[in-house]
Chains A and B, each alone.
Chain A
Amino acid sequence: MRNLTHLKIQEKGTIKGFTDETLSVKLMEMGCLPGAEISLELIAPLGDPIAIEVAGYKLSLRKSEASCILLEEM
């Protein structure tokens, strides 16, 4: 199953769901809703954390958190 960490920089994806219930509520509050389009914007020099563009703003999160966000298959 494809998740957010599989995106390449500047690549777009659509949120399908989450693998962690607690985290999913926090992420949804921040605008990461199922069906929302996200794109990978930045990767920190040491590979973690990453930053995505979602709902018109930039959001940074750690890879462990990003792997909870599942994406629609292309």
Chain B
Amino acid sequence: MSTKGDLKIALVGNPNSGKTTLFNLLTGLKQRTGNFPGVTVDKKSGRLNLPNGERSELVDLPGTYSIYPKTLDEQVVQEILLDTDHAQHPDLIIIVADASNLKRNLLLFTQIRDLNIPIILVLNMMDVAERRALKIDLRGLSIDLGVKIVPTNSHSGDGIDTLKDVITQSLVKPKRPFYDVRPLAENTIDAIKAEFDIADDYRAYQFAQQNVRLKFLSEENKAKIEDVKRENGFYDLPTQSQETLDRYALISDIVDRNIKKSEPSKRATLSQRIDRITTHKVFGYVIFLAILMLIFQAIFSWGDTPMDWIEASLGSLSELVKTSLPSGVLNDLLTDGIIAGLAGVLVFIPQIALLFGFISLLEESGYMSRAVFLMDRLMRNFGLSGKSVVPLVSGMACAIPAIMATRNIESWKDRLITIFVTPFMSCSARLPVYTLLIALVVPDETVLGIFNMKGLVLTALYLLGFFAALISAWGMKLILKTKHKGYFIMELPGYKVPKWKNVGLTIFEKSKTFVFEAGKVIIAISILLWVLASYGFGDKFNNAEEYVRLELPNDTSEQEFETKLNAYKLEHSMAGSFGKLIEPVIAPLGYDWKIGISLITSFAAREVFVGTISTIYSIGADEEDQLTITEKLSKEINPKTGKPMYTMALGFSLMVFYAFAMQCMSTIAVVYRETKGWKWPLIQVAYMTAVAYLSALAVYNIFS
């Protein structure tokens, strides 16, 4: 029971039962996302205002078909319900069931009802049931199941107010269990009840069934249960099998008694006809590709304008702070550190919002499961699943929303592999680097009569990323071992018109999560990089102005002096020292310390490379003008060889390095968030950097 005043209510139900829509209707914008204590699964909770003025917290638990979990997500449901000391253990459970498919939905209901927690049954999607000409005797059903029933239609919002009323008066436990589990394992149940001081048979029975999985049990207690089971000859699977069959038999009787079909439902319906097209041998893939291209296009083109706005307004904010505050360390930290870091976070919001808008639309309409159905066989060759397709494609716009999109993948192994390989897909931040280097080293020639050499190189870079992702996934498939055997038993829900409120809330919630969770890390790293680039030790950094004055002729303009000074300071800053420090390491790739500094600063984000290069070669304030950078760089002479520095070998080596290396702290932050730890982002950085280094080394040697 809850110790605080707030009533804890849990929403439980099958996937596709309209549970999330109901959650959105009950809580609206008063939602937040957090972690379940001790587990790596997201928790969506929200404030629910009850008519009697009581405060209550509604938790949306992951959708599940039974109390026996198949995935890590589902395990949370069982954990919270069985552990009475859990911080989220509910005072009241609302079970949401799809009224049009009641038999299967009631299995979960009967299991949870027997845990002896106050419970309400919501029969959702009453409109669909009506369309299917189902006559449901609610009174009879309520008596037979021994529970209060509230019919709702989450599309229209009917029944929501009644539900709120019923919540305030429903904190009564069911009097006796729906299904008596005792005959299945009498001795085992009694032994566990005595040992753990449990009152209910079914809870004790669940301890016996699930002891291995339950995290709240100590190893010692798990072993104790194991002993009890061995002594009494209790076998998990056959008993679970018997329980499921018995429950269904009871449910079947009740459903037959209380639900009448007034006519045999004709269901060679619209849904079926759409499926014949969407999973067609040819059209299926055509439609799928068309949808992917639309999403890709939208993220690229629609996202551009708002991204420009955000960049522009943060630019003006930075300018405003710079001019209105006295110049000094604080000013620089605010503008070049914090606001710059903030810009790096906020600028992705349009892409994240658009992507999640589309994904939510596909989920809501029911198409997503068809795409998964279509792609599963193909992706399995590479250790991925059908659901990996969407993240991989969105990765071509930006890895951040793409990695967040992997949440739709149930199998943890499939999801991890997808998260791991998605940053290989060429994102839009690589484009400025590619364009600069291609302009520098690739000749403007025509190949085979029609293809432009520069265009071919760019295409090759995109393909390179794609194949690196597939090959890495395949490698990981061989290395990664999982205890759980992966199933692919997935419901294909009927098509329906998406609910805009759900789409809107998804967009809002995902963007908010990104800004607050990933933002913290990104800003921290930005500040660190700012410190590295703006501080240095020694005389040359501290008295930079004098040294620069000595080097420059007297008639130098103030602006030129500033430019030179910035370059000089960067050279002698900590970042500069690091650049020189790593020079021996990167020398085999053909890089010097100037590129070294750029590698370090562009760890923040790849596009920073262009800005750093222009600072270090002290190219005027106009960083946008790539022509000047190109001209300047092409004149650069390699002091060792006396020949041009930016040769084809160096250019290709750098391009390949940027194609593979995980030069993006936002991605690292997101991987940290999604995998809930530093293990995977660190392995990923190490792996991708190694691939980048070795490929760049090979490329440099091949071309020089």
Contact = CB atoms under 8 A, between A and B. Distances in A.
Interface of A: 21-31, 33-34, 41-42, 44-49, 51, 55-62, 65
B581 interface: no
Contact of A22 (B100, B101, B485, B491): B485
Most chain B C-beta atoms within 10 Å of own C-beta, residue among A29, A51, A59: A29
Contacts of A51: 275, 279, 373, 492
A62 B107 CA distance: 24
Interface stretch (B140-148, B241-249, B306-314): B241-249
Interface size class of B (residues with CB under 8 A): 35 or more
16 contacts: A26-B70, A28-B241, A28-B248, A42-B279, A44-B279, A45-B284, A45-B374, A51-B373, A57-B104, A57-B494, A58-B491, A58-B494, A59-B489, A60-B369, A60-B489, A60-B490
B103 interface: yes
Given A21-B241, A45-B285, A60-B369, A26 B489 contact: yes
A9 B369 CA distance: 20
Interface in B14-68: 65-66, 68
B244 A42 contact: no
B487 A65 contact: yes
Nearest to A18: B241
Interface string B56-92: 0000000001101010000000000000000000000
Contacts of A48: 376-377
Contact of A25 (B100, B241, B248, B279): B241
A36 B373 CA distance: 24
A42 to B, nearest CB: 5
B496 interface: no
Given A21-B237, A65-B489, A49 B245 contact: no
Interface in B463-510: 485, 487-494
Contacts of B490: 59-61
B378 interface: yes
Nearest to A27: B489
B176 interface: no
A30 B494 CA distance: 16
B241 A60 contact: no
B237 A25 contact: yes
A28 B245 contact: yes
B240 interface: yes
B275 A41 contact: yes
A49 B374 CA distance: 8
Interface of B: 65-66, 68, 70, 100-101, 103-104, 107, 237-238, 240-241, 244-245, 248, 272, 275, 279-281, 284-285, 369, 373-374, 376-378, 485, 487-494
Contact of B104 (A22, A31, A60): A31
Given A25-B244, A29-B68, A49 B279 contact: no
Given A28-B248, A45-B284, A49-B377, A55 B101 contact: yes
Given A42-B279, A60-B373, A65-B488, 15 more contacts: A23-B487, A25-B241, A26-B487, A29-B244, A41-B275, A45-B279, A45-B285, A45-B374, A46-B378, A49-B376, A51-B492, A55-B104, A57-B104, A59-B489, A60-B492
Contacts of B65: 29-30
A49 B376 CA distance: 7
Contact of B491 (A34, A42, A49, A57): A57
A24 B241 contact: yes
Contact of A60 (B103, B285, B378, B488): B488
A1 to B, nearest CB: 20
Nearest to B248: A33
A44 B100 CA distance: 26
A61 B245 CA distance: 21
A62 B376 contact: yes
Contacts of A47: 377
Contacts of B103: 31, 55-56
B126 to A, nearest CB: 16
A28 B279 contact: no
B488 A29 contact: no
Given A28-B248, A44-B374, A49 B241 contact: no
A53 to B, nearest CB: 9
Nearest to B279: A42
Most chain B C-beta atoms within 10 Å of own C-beta, residue among A45, A51, A61: A45
Contacts of A55: 101, 103-104
Contacts of B377: 44, 46-49
A58 B70 contact: no
Contacts of B488: 49, 60-62, 65
Contact of A42 (B100, B275, B285): B275
A57 B489 CA distance: 13
Contacts of B241: 21, 24-25, 28
Contacts of A22: 237, 485
Contacts of A56: 100-101, 103-104
Contacts of B492: 42, 51, 57-60
Contacts of A61: 488-490
Nearest to B16: A57
Contacts of A44: 279, 373-374, 376-377
A52 B544 CA distance: 75
B266 to A, nearest CB: 13
Nearest to A24: B241
A15 B491 CA distance: 18
A8 B115 CA distance: 43
Nearest to B100: A56
Nearest to B278: A42
A55 B106 CA distance: 12
Most chain B C-beta atoms within 10 Å of own C-beta, residue among A26, A33, A34, A60: A60
